[in-house]
Amino acid sequence: SDLRPVLSLRARIACIRTLAPGERAGYGLDFQAVRETRLAVVTAGYGDGLPRALCQLGGRALVNGRSCPMAGRMCMDQLLLDVTDVPRALPGQAVTLIGQEAGQRIQVEEIAQACGTIPNEVLCQLGGRLGLVLRQ
């Protein structure tokens, strides 16, 4: 079939902080570093329509083509990504929440399955504040 995904969802890294082992971050200090950890604060959250539980259910994003796990609890306007293994991750850089980057892909179906729902529900929740890009 010639059908292929056309939606990309990206947000920017606002800042990056390094945590020492044992230090905590996020709502309720839910995330605890088990090693020296670089956390990126990403400018998207459940207020933009992302599933709030995604961080605890294996959510991830692509940074420089590498899969990075979400950390802690998602906030209304931001989420945390563990970018420890992506040393060139920088503030201002775009990360991919849905779509393709450097041969890697995150599909809406993956997010829906992790959250126990269907792709259409995930798509219908996405808000106008996000940079949605349709490609031909």
* pLDDT confidence of residue 6: 79
C-alpha distances out from residue 33 to 15, 50, 67, 91, Å: 17, 24, 18, 20
* pLDDT confidence of residue 5: 76
Do the beta carbons of residue 80 and residue 68 sit within 8 Å?
no
Do the beta carbons of residue 29 and residue 43 sit within 8 Å?
no
pLDDT along the chain (136 residues), means of 10: 82 97 95 98 95 96 97 96 97 96 95 96 84 50
- What are the residues facing 74 on neighbouring strands? none
